[in-house]
Structure 1
Amino acid sequence: MELVNTTTLSTPSRVDQEDCGLHCRIVLIALYSVVLLGGTVGTIMMSRMMFKRKSQSVIATIILNIIVLRSVLDSLPLRLSYYVSDVWAFGFFTCRVVSGVIYGHMYFIFVFYVAIVIFRLLVYFKKLQVQRLQKFHAVVLSVVIWLVGSLVFLPLFFSQYGTNPSFSQEPRCFEFYKDLNRSELIVINYSVIAIMMTTVTALSLVEMVVIFQMVKALWPDMWAHQEYRAQIKSFFFLLVIFVCFVPHHAFRIYFIQNYSKKDHSQLVLYNEICVALTTVCCLDMLCFIGGLIH
């Protein structure tokens, strides 16, 4: 699984130039601050809305899972303190946990987004009947995703990343890119990239065909139809994946091939920005609350 987080910031005592410098830290502080504020507000408002509606639908249950995953926001203050002070003061184990949280959040969010899109497509193609589905089915689906995801993600991350003793010798954090000299991790990275790219591309093509067909059939009153609005929401989730997750995975290919060069400070900069960009998906609730997606 693609779990390599790479932050290497400068201190005067460091001989190498593997850091992304003050400019990198300013960008990351600004980006994580916006995500922390916007994500917290959006999650609270969406939680209140879901509580008032008390919906029992499959989609509502999946949205509740996404709200739970917003606990990633709790780890952002630790990241911000690191980028502000340029020193990690919370221990190496905490560093690994905070690094794992951001990647675990991304991949679980990806799975739940894909589950929403596939569910709505199956309903559209009449492969599923909503009337026959109960909250029990959504709960079972959620449990399966959490159980399988945890059994795959947790052992992989804690057994493969950050195991080199040299990582704990400095007050640094998020320098796990050094593990990429192991061929098995490179294979895992490429495999995850291929799975994500293939899945989101295929679903996007299907979704665009469905939306185009619905526009032709319902024009000009398509917004009055709930099914059309549901497909637009599905496409929005795919758009979030493209904007927030795909850049990181696309750049990861180039990063893996070039990180071992002597001067790769710019690679670290761009990779860290791509990692931070994955958390921007936490603003999705604000898009719904703010009416950008009706």
Structure 2
Amino acid sequence: MEIINATILANVSNTELGPCDMYCRIILIILYGVVLLGGTTGMVMMSCMMFKRNSQSVVATFVLNIIALHSILLVSLPFRVSYYFSVTWGLGSFTCRMVSSIIYSHMYFTFVFYVAIVIFRLLIYFKKLQMQQLKRHHAVVLSVTVWTVGSLIFLPVFFLQYGTDPRHSEQQRCFEFYRDLNRREIVIMNYSMIVIMMTMVVILFLLQLIVIFQLIKALWPDMWTHQEYRAQIKSFFFLLVIVVCFIPHHAFRIHFIQNYSERENPKLVLYNEICVALTTVCCLDMLCFTSGVIH
């Protein structure tokens, strides 16, 4: 902690600190550092495990997509940590927007694959879908579709809308695109994503709880010996990851949009940056699986 303090303070004398102050940066460095270490460990362990099993299931294909998304995000985290150490961004506005877009694209793409796993297992439970009807190539086609459609929608919107304010490059700052929230189209886009995500999570969370309670009632006390129950618990775990990592960001976003102004309230900026950083904690999900936290 003292080393981090000394490093940041040494740079503050030569660089304007901006709305995210020293303590804000310390918190972000620690949080991103933990995610980088734990996430990388989880990715390596899960990749080795899946390589040994060579599973051809639909869920395994979705998990491989999540691993790929986590890996891309983890590659971008050293850029963020370096920025919060040096308090300046010298890699240009395009690189800044690219690194920044990764954290948001990771969140939404990961959310889609989490939801796909949950819906897939719910459809099987409610007899709306038979395992025999789906082969791996169906999951591959769905994955390619998600990546293609998501890229065509998300990336152009982000690069054309966010970070176009010239102050970002002039002041050698990065990851301060909340300044664009004074634009009506950006506010509408944020509110739309908030409503879509929260609505889906509430519906799936209630359905998943109903299924789990039904299975407990039917299989008690030997429910853990049944594969169907364990599969639904894993789906519930993915929903918990969404609730813990993604929902705080979107819930606080409502308050942030309504109260943020050009005066740049330091506390609001701090809480917003922490909520954004919290979305990366989902990278620890594979570590939870491989370490036995969730079986």
Q: Same fold (TM over 0.5)?
A: yes
By how many angstroms is 1:262 displaced? 2.7
Map of 2:211 onto structure 1: 210
Distance 1:40 1:14, change over 3 A: closer
- The percentage of aligned residue pairs carrying the same residue is 68
- Deviation string 1:221-263 (CA, Å, 9 cap, x unpaired) is 0000000000000000000000000000000000001110635
Q: Which runs of 5+ in 2 are unaligned?
A: 1-8
Map of 2:4 onto structure 1: none
By how many angstroms is 1:273 displaced? 0.4
Give runs of aligned pairs for residues 44-55 of structure 1, distance below 5 A.
44-55=44-55
Q: Greater RCO between the two (CA within 8 Å, min separation 6)?
A: 1
In structure 1, give the amino acid aligned to 2:219: L
Map of 2:172 onto structure 1: 171
Q: Does 1:57 align with 2:57?
A: yes
Q: Is the 8 A contact 1:42 1:289 kept in 2?
A: yes
SS class of match (1:216): helix
Runs of at least 4 residues of structure 1 off by over 2 A? 9-15
Q: Which moved more, 1:253-262 or 1:209-218?
A: 253-262
Alpha-carbon distance between aligned partners in 2 of 1:73 and 1:13, rounded to the nearest angstrom: 29
Map of 1:267 onto structure 2: 268
Map of 1:74 onto structure 2: 75
SS class of match (1:171): coil
Distance 1:89 1:263, change over 3 A: closer
Map of 2:288 onto structure 1: 287
Map of 2:191 onto structure 1: 190
In structure 2, give the amino acid aligned to 1:34: V
Q: Is the 8 A contact 2:19 2:264 kept in 1?
A: no
Alpha-carbon distance between aligned partners in 1 of 2:212 and 2:29, rounded to the nearest angstrom: 38
SS class of match (1:155): helix
- Deviation string 1:188-243 (CA, Å, 9 cap, x unpaired) is 10010000000001000000000001000000000000000000000000000000
Map of 1:3 onto structure 2: none
Q: Give the TM-score normalised by structure 2.
A: 0.93
Q: Does 1:239 align with 2:235?
A: no
By how many angstroms is 1:288 displaced? 0.2
Q: Give the TM-score normalised by structure 1.
A: 0.94
Map of 1:41 onto structure 2: 41
SS class of match (1:212): helix
Alpha-carbon distance between aligned partners in 2 of 1:14 and 1:65, rounded to the nearest angstrom: 40
SS class of match (1:102): helix
In structure 2, give the amino acid aligned to 1:166: R
Map of 2:6 onto structure 1: none
By how many angstroms is 1:91 displaced? 1.4
Q: Is the 8 A contact 1:36 1:73 kept in 2?
A: yes
Distance 1:261 1:87, change over 3 A: closer
In structure 1, give the amino acid aligned to 2:23: H
By how many angstroms is 1:21 displaced? 1.2
In structure 2, give the amino acid aligned to 1:116: I
By how many angstroms is 1:13 displaced? 7.5
Cα RMSD (Å) of the superposition?
1.6
Q: Is the 8 A contact 1:18 1:264 kept in 2?
A: no
- Deviation string 1:256-278 (CA, Å, 9 cap, x unpaired) is 01110635000000000000000
Q: Is the 8 A contact 1:18 1:263 kept in 2?
A: no
SS class of match (2:217): helix
Map of 2:84 onto structure 1: 83
Map of 2:3 onto structure 1: none
Q: Which moved more, 1:259-268 or 1:83-92?
A: 259-268
By how many angstroms is 1:93 displaced? 0.9
SS class of match (2:90): coil
By how many angstroms is 1:165 displaced? 2.0
- Deviation string 1:142-193 (CA, Å, 9 cap, x unpaired) is 0111111111101110111111222211211011111111111101100100
Q: Which moved more, 1:217-226 or 1:128-137?
A: 128-137
By how many angstroms is 1:18 displaced? 5.2
Q: Is the 8 A contact 1:18 1:268 kept in 2?
A: no
Alpha-carbon distance between aligned partners in 2 of 1:166 and 1:81, rounded to the nearest angstrom: 20
SS class of match (1:20): coil
By how many angstroms is 1:88 displaced? 1.1
Report the number of matched residues. Answer: 285
Q: Which runs of 5+ in 1 are unaligned?
A: 1-8
In structure 2, give the amino acid aligned to 1:219: W
- Deviation string 1:53-75 (CA, Å, 9 cap, x unpaired) is 11100000000101111111000
Q: Is the 8 A contact 2:245 2:279 kept in 1?
A: yes
